[in-house]
Structure 1
Amino acid sequence: MLKKTLAALAIGSALFTAGQAMAADYKIDKEGQHAFVDFKISHLGYSFITGTFKDFDGSFSFDAAKPEDSKIDVTLKTASVFTNHAERDKHISSKDFLDVAAFPEATFKSTSVKPTGKSADGKTTADVTGDLTFHGVTKPVVIKATFLGEGKDPWGGYRAGFEGTTSINRKDFAPKSMDLGPQSDTVELYFTFEGVKAK
Structure 2
Amino acid sequence: MSDRVVRASAWLVMLAFAVPIGADAARYQQVNATASQITFTYHQMGSRVYGTFSRFEATIDFDSANPAAARAALTIDLDSIDVGNRDANSELKKPGWFNTAVYPQARFVSNRVTALGNNRYQVEGLLTLKGLTREVGAQITLKPDSAIGIFDGNFILKRADFDIGEGEWADFGVVSNEINIRFRVVVPEQ
The TM-score range, normalised by the shorter chain, is 0.7 to 0.9
Q: After TM superposition, give the deviation of residue 24 of structure 1 in Å.
A: 3.6
The answer to whether structure 1 residue 173 and structure 2 residue 174 are counterparts is no
Listed as ranges, the matches of 1:130-169 within 5 Å are 130-152=125-147, 159-169=148-158
- Letter of the 2:42 partner, please give it: I
Q: 1:151 to 1:61 in 2, by over 3 A?
A: farther
Q: What corresponds to 1:14 in structure 2?
A: none
RMSD: 1.8
- Letter of the 2:141 partner, please give it: T
More helix per residue: 1
TM-score, structure 2 normalization? 0.79
Q: What corresponds to 2:186 in structure 1?
A: 194
Q: Where does structure 1 lack aligned partners over 5 or more consecutive residues?
A: 1-21, 119-123, 153-158
Kindly indicate whether the alpha-carbon contact (under 8 Å) linking 1:54 and 1:81 is maintained by their aligned counterparts in 2. yes
Q: What corresponds to 1:87 in structure 2?
A: 87
- Letter of the 1:94 partner, please give it: K
Q: After TM superposition, give the deviation of residue 116 of structure 1 in Å.
A: 1.2
Identity %: 21
Q: After TM superposition, give the deviation of residue 150 of structure 1 in Å.
A: 4.7
SS of the residue corresponding to residue 170 of structure 2 reads coil
Q: 1:142 to 1:74 in 2, by over 3 A?
A: same
Give the length in aligned residue pairs: 163
TM-score, structure 1 normalization? 0.76
Q: After TM superposition, give the deviation of residue 117 of structure 1 in Å.
A: 1.7
Which protein has the larger Cα radius of gyration, Structure 1 or Structure 2?
1
Kindly indicate whether the alpha-carbon contact (under 8 Å) linking 1:143 and 1:166 is maintained by their aligned counterparts in 2. yes
Q: After TM superposition, give the deviation of residue 78 of structure 1 in Å.
A: 0.4
SS of the residue corresponding to residue 29 of structure 1 reads coil
Deviations 1:101-136 (A, max 9, x none): 111010110000011122xxxxx1011001001111
Q: After TM superposition, give the deviation of residue 160 of structure 1 in Å.
A: 2.1
- Letter of the 2:171 partner, please give it: L
Q: After TM superposition, give the deviation of residue 25 of structure 1 in Å.
A: 5.2
Q: Where does structure 2 lack aligned partners over 5 or more consecutive residues?
A: 1-24
Q: What corresponds to 1:38 in structure 2?
A: 39
Q: Distance in 2 between matches of 1:195 and 1:23?
A: 11
Listed as ranges, the matches of 1:59-78 within 5 Å are 59-78=59-78
Of structures 1 and 2, the one scoring higher in RCO (CA 8 A, sep 6+) is 2
